[in-house]
Structure 1
Amino acid sequence: MKFHLAATLGAVAALALTASTAMAQETLKWAHVYETSEPFHTESVWAAEEIAKRTDGRYKIDVFPASQLGKEADINQGLTLGTVDIIISGSSFAAREYAPIGVTYFPFIFRDADHLLKYTKSDTYKALTGGYEEKSGHHITATTYYGTRHTTSNRPIEKCADMQGLKMRVPDVPAYLAMPRACGANTAPIAFAEVYLALQNGTVEAQENPLTTIEAKKFFEVQKHIVLTGHIVDHLNTIVSQTRWASLSDEDKQIFTEVTQEAAARATAKIVEREKELVQVFKDRGLTVTEIDRADFEKNVMEKVTFEEFGYNKADWEAIRAIQ
């Protein structure tokens, strides 16, 4: 009887411990708009699993890719509404809450990916992400290199004037519009998930995105030219909602930060490596890949676009440009 009683008590204790663990585990939603094949998704999944490991299973994070929980504007709003806990999204969308952070999308502000990564370790980065958190309440834990944005088109482009009257899809974000509009393009704010069809049916004849995105979304199937405008060195922020961040212990905040930064570094390395290969890949597919007169494009932007119209501070632009 003593043996059976001990066994019974042991089983009850085990069940109680299991129930306690289950109750302690929290399920979080992590959302983004990228394809499952892209590093932004695969590294988000890695980060979700790694956070679970490092917190002894106290957090179960479900990752929702490819706009499953809404377009980029929707998931940014979801941070405030409480429908998502973590997202990856560009500073262009964060700028809707805190305009100055969008200066990082001003055309030609960064020289290359290395310049961007140096910026993420600067005092200017701390000031701009801090300003975003103060205004929105949400916390940026990491920044990933998204890729350098180039233009695809069904007409040849070599200089800024060649874009005059071009029907071009551009995200409905002010900074993205700066270069195309400075060159006279007619921009259309088509949702990211609908761009392929819009190019295919001729609603627009051009778009702009990094080479890796052009590959992942198969835009090369419905475009003839890849024009290496390199007008924006793009990035994504990993953002934790205000309520979720406030609920974390200091120890867990450290874990979330470390893991998301590791994931960002892993994704960045993959994007940089793939970008090196893609120019030749697209040439092999029969597309025309064109170098542009970058100085001509930059001159038009600086003459026709002002920092003030976007709510950016020229001092931030100067500080970022000066980073070596």
Structure 2
Amino acid sequence: MKRIVAMCVALGLFCGLALSIAPSAEAKTVIKIAGMKPEGEPETVGMHKFGEYLEKLSNGKYEVKVYPNSQLGKEDSYIDQTKRGTIQMCATGTQMSKFHPAMAMLETPMLYEDLDHAHRAMKGDTFKLITDGFAEKSGMRTMNVFPLGFRHFYTKNPVKSIDDIKGLKMRVPNIPLYTNFAKEAGISGQPMPFAEVMTSIESGAIDGGDSPLSDIASTGVYEYAPEVTKTGHILVLHSLFINDKFYKNLPEQDRKWFDEAAEMAAEDVWKLMVQADQDAEKKITAGKGKISEPTPELKKYMTEAGERSWTLFTDPNSKQHVPNAKEILESAKRYAK
């Protein structure tokens, strides 16, 4: 009996020693974040940067797994997964306007003079006015905002005048913001998935479309429509979104880590955007694409078309009416130089 007691005491001492030297760090919590863009593009860079910052700030408590290039399904699917809490986070843009119409105003046509103007507006009251009430309606929280670039035309033939714009058959995303702007500009907007663009250009069903330079370069669409006109008519802005219930259940210190990581990641993307556009231009021109600036007359025409399209948000009878649209527009203008 004494021998058994001695063995138990020894075993207890051994277990105690083992526990004392075992690492006390908490198990990592895996955060899943989904997006639609491929590796190397600004959205995906922003997701990876967020992960790096969060892991560092939390001393490894959180591990972020990035699922780019629609690996977890199409945009609507991973938005729904985030809303339900199946995954914690996602990256997207104006698709969130289905929950909160004001989110579409992030990409209001011809609203920003340049990236610096947009950056000031997004760091200031404009972004707050747009996102006010979003979490309550969607079950998700907006963590930051960052650019994917200004949209420019890519066409089979050069666009040098207003007459060259009018009547063009151009692919547009099937979103009221885009179809309405195309109409105001005299363009025959053809809503279709991007996957159909190349074959539609080849068949003559469309004359081209519009995208940020990084998309034009990465997809190779310039090989089918080599004339790129830098109209910069819409700035594509995306955000990181997080399931609101998950966020609220985080300890206070952890929420601060998430907030800080998201802010730093967004600032990195704003800084790299200029270089990203320059790299895209080099790839396009090396691939026999041609890049040109619009004439002052064409730029003025596009600006006026953009401002006419704002009634989509300001008109009380519009299905996309945003109650504080005029306040948002006025706020953005105040951040111009």
**TM-score bracket, shorter-length normalisation:** 0.7 to 0.9
Q: d(CA) in 1 for partners of 2:21 and 2:68?
A: 36
Report deviation, 1:172.
1.9
Following superposition of structure 1 onto structure 2, how do residues 114-125 of structure 1 map, counting pairs within 5 Å?
114-125=116-127
Greater Cα shift, 70-79 or 2-11: 2-11
Q: d(CA) in 1 for partners of 2:84 and 2:169?
A: 35
1:168 to 170, 181, 200: 170
Secondary structure (helix, strand or coil) at the match of 1:34 reads: coil
The aligned counterpart of 1:40 is 43
Report deviation, 1:255.
0.7
The aligned counterpart of 2:302 is 297
| Aligned amino acid, residue 86 of structure 1 | M
Q: d(CA) in 1 for partners of 2:36 and 2:78?
A: 9
1:311 to 296, 321, 336: 321
Q: d(CA) in 1 for partners of 2:63 and 2:197?
A: 33
The aligned counterpart of 1:68 is 71
Q: d(CA) in 1 for partners of 2:202 and 2:74?
A: 21
Secondary structure (helix, strand or coil) at the match of 2:109 reads: coil
| Aligned amino acid, residue 294 of structure 1 | K
Secondary structure (helix, strand or coil) at the match of 1:127 reads: helix
| Aligned amino acid, residue 100 of structure 2 | Y
Q: d(CA) in 2 for partners of 1:303 and 1:143?
A: 26
Q: 1:79 to 1:159 in 2, by over 3 A?
A: farther
Q: 1:48 to 1:284 in 2, by over 3 A?
A: closer
Q: d(CA) in 2 for partners of 1:6 and 1:142?
A: 51
Q: d(CA) in 2 for partners of 1:69 and 1:199?
A: 29
TM-score by length of 2: 0.84
The answer to whether the aligner puts 1:216 opposite 2:208 as a matched pair is no
The answer to whether the aligner puts 1:80 opposite 2:83 as a matched pair is yes
The answer to whether the aligner puts 1:7 opposite 2:14 as a matched pair is yes
Runs of 5+ unmatched residues, structure 2:
1-6
1:112 to 114, 118, 121: 114
Greater Cα shift, 278-287 or 105-114: 278-287
Aligned alpha-carbon RMSD (Å): 2.6
1:267 to 255, 266, 269: 269
Contact 2:84 2:243 (8 Å CA) reproduced: no
Secondary structure (helix, strand or coil) at the match of 1:107 reads: coil
Contact 2:110 2:302 (8 Å CA) reproduced: no
| Aligned amino acid, residue 275 of structure 2 | E
1:229 to 204, 228, 231: 231
Q: d(CA) in 2 for partners of 1:85 and 1:188?
A: 34
Q: d(CA) in 2 for partners of 1:270 and 1:297?
A: 27
For these two proteins, the number of residue pairs brought into alignment is: 319
Greater Cα shift, 137-146 or 278-287: 278-287
Report deviation, 1:185.
2.7
Q: d(CA) in 2 for partners of 1:192 and 1:83?
A: 27
CA deviations 1:181-203 (Å, max 9, x no partner) are 22333333333455455545655
Secondary structure (helix, strand or coil) at the match of 1:178 reads: helix
The aligned counterpart of 2:157 is 155
Report deviation, 1:149.
0.9
Contact 2:110 2:306 (8 Å CA) reproduced: no
Contact 1:106 1:178 (8 Å CA) reproduced: no
Report deviation, 1:57.
3.0
Q: d(CA) in 1 for partners of 2:300 and 2:40?
A: 35
The answer to whether the aligner puts 1:249 opposite 2:251 as a matched pair is yes
Greater Cα shift, 188-197 or 246-255: 188-197
Secondary structure (helix, strand or coil) at the match of 1:176 reads: helix
| Aligned amino acid, residue 232 of structure 1 | I
Secondary structure (helix, strand or coil) at the match of 2:32 reads: strand
Q: 1:303 to 1:264 in 2, by over 3 A?
A: closer
Secondary structure (helix, strand or coil) at the match of 1:95 reads: helix
CA deviations 1:2-28 (Å, max 9, x no partner) are 77653343335666957xx33xx3322
